[in-house]
């Protein structure tokens, strides 16, 4: 299954060409990265989230050229752009200044976007085929999980889909291969259905290289571990479980994620 729809692929080719001409790093995150790693017919998206390796004040050197070939900016959302074929792109300029300050401040709305963890977007990106004949850089699944935690914490009510994506990542992480049967899982005594979440916790702790990154994951784990935290997602049909069983499994998997992260911290000391 192609991660990009045809009109998205056409628009991305424009963006990729312009970024290449300007020597700007370009990496896909968000739902497109999710669909690349976890083909899911239920997870459709109209937006393509693209991270550019330049700062906000340098963005016009890319967008001015895009405008010349028919792109237009959304007047209601300053980071959103519409390609000539109708595809929507969220262009996120995360250059050295933004990564150093760990945030982007959008000038019109004055809203702030936390970019803790975005160093991994550029350092750890891998290349893959997103559509027929179209190769691009995309974040690994463990990096995507970190970014979705950070995004959710920025706006828990508005970014509920990030929580839903995280639940599905927990369900499917390392589902292929033998790692769920490895000694690190057997020694932990977690059940098979919790093994992916436990391994993601281990990998997240290995990934987190700064106190800010560790702090974001710990904040997220505290939030989802709070008994008053309601996870507003319909997982029953997807997981093949009724509502109460699905809620119970989700709670168990978040607990396994936390256990893996704590165990990873012991290994890092």
Give the tens place of pLDDT for each residue, 196-246: 999 999 999 999 999 999 999 999 999 988 877 766 555 434 555 556 677
End-to-end CA distance of the chain: 41
Q: Are residue 122 and residue 157 in the same domain, yes or no?
A: no
pLDDT of residue 44: 65
Residues 133 and 10 in one domain: yes
Both 21 and 73 in one domain: the answer is yes
pLDDT of residue 268: 61
Q: Are 47 and 133 found together in one domain?
A: yes
159 and 69 in a single domain? The answer is: no
- Is residue 32 located within the same domain as residue 60? yes
Give the end of a domain, one of 139, 158, 188: 139
Closest by alpha carbon to 105, among 87, 123, 121, 93?
93
Distance, in Å, from the CA atom of 257 to the CA atom of 198, rounded to the nearest integer, reads 5
| Residue 135 within a domain | yes
23 and 103 together in one domain: yes
Is 1 part of any domain? Answer: no
Domain end point (choices 139, 159, 176): 139
Strands 72-73 and 80-82, how do they pair?
antiparallel
Does residue 100 share a domain with residue 40?
Answer: yes
**12 is a domain residue:** yes
Q: How confident is the model at residue 249 (pLDDT cuts 50, 70, 90)?
A: confident
Query: What CATH number should be reported for the domain holding residue 130?
Result: 3.30.460
Q: Containing domain of residue 120, as a range?
A: 6-139
pLDDT, tens digit (0-9, with 9 covering 90-100), for 140-192: 999 999 999 999 999 988 888 898 899 999 999 999 989 999 999 999 999 99
Number of domains in the chain: 2
Does one domain contain both 79 and 177? Answer: no
Q: Is residue 89 part of a domain?
A: yes
Is residue 50 predicted with pLDDT exceeding 70? yes
Please state the rounded mean pLDDT for residues 79-102: 96
Phi-psi region of 35 (alpha: psi -120 to 50; beta: other; left: phi over 0): alpha
Per-residue confidence (pLDDT) for residue 235, from 0 to 100: 43
Q: What is the pLDDT of residue 266?
A: 74
Where do the H-state alpha helices sit in the chain? Answer: 6-21, 30-37, 60-68, 96-101, 119-123, 141-154, 160-172, 183-186, 192-207, 211-225, 236-239, 243-268
Buried-exposed string 259-268: b where 16+ CB fall within 10 A, e elsewhere: bbbebbbeee
Residue 45's pLDDT band (boundaries 50, 70, 90)? Answer: low
Q: What gap in Å lies between CA 91 and CA 89, rounded to an integer?
A: 6
Q: Do 152 and 130 lie in a common domain?
A: no
Domain stops at, among 106, 139, 172: 139
In a domain, 103, yes or no: yes
Residues 132 and 164 in one domain: no
Within a domain: 242:
yes
* Domain shared by 124 and 164, yes or no: no
Query: CB neighbours of 122 closer than 8 A, spacing ≥ 6?
Result: 25, 27, 51, 53
In which band, very low, low, confident or very high, does the pLDDT at 264 lie, cut at 50, 70 and 90? confident
């Amino acid at each position: 299954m192609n991660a990009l729809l045809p009109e998205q692929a056409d628009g991305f080719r424009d963006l990729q060409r312009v970024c290449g001409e300007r020597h700007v790093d370009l990496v896909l995150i968000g739902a497109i990265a999710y669909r690349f790693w976890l083909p899911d017919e239920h997870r459709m998206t109209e937006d393509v989230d693209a991270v550019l390796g330049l700062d906000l004040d340098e963005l016009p050197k890319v967008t001015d050229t895009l405008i010349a070939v028919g792109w237009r900016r959304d007047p209601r959302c300053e980071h959103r752009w519409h390609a000539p074929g109708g595809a929507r792109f969220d262009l996120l300029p995360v250059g050295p200044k933004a990564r150093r300050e760990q945030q982007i401040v959008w000038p019109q709305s004055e809203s702030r976007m936390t970019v803790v963890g975005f160093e991994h977007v550029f350092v750890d990106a891998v290349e893959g085929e997103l559509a027929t004949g179209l190769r691009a850089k995309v974040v690994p699944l463990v990096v995507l999980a970190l970014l979705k935690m950070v995004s959710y914490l920025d706006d828990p009510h508005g970014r509920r889909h990030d929580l839903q994506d995280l639940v599905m990542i927990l369900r499917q992480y390392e589902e292929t291969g033998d790692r769920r049967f490895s000694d690190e899982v057997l020694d932990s005594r977690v059940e098979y259905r919790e093994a992916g979440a436990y391994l993601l916790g281990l990998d997240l702790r290995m990934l987190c290289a700064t106190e800010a990154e560790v702090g974001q994951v710990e904040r997220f784990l505290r939030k989802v571990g709070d008994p008053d935290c309601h996870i507003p997602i319909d997982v029953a049909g997807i997981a093949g479980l009724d509502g109460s069983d699905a809620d119970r499994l989700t709670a168990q998997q978040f607990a396994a994620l936390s256990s893996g992260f704590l165990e990873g911290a012991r290994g890092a000391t």
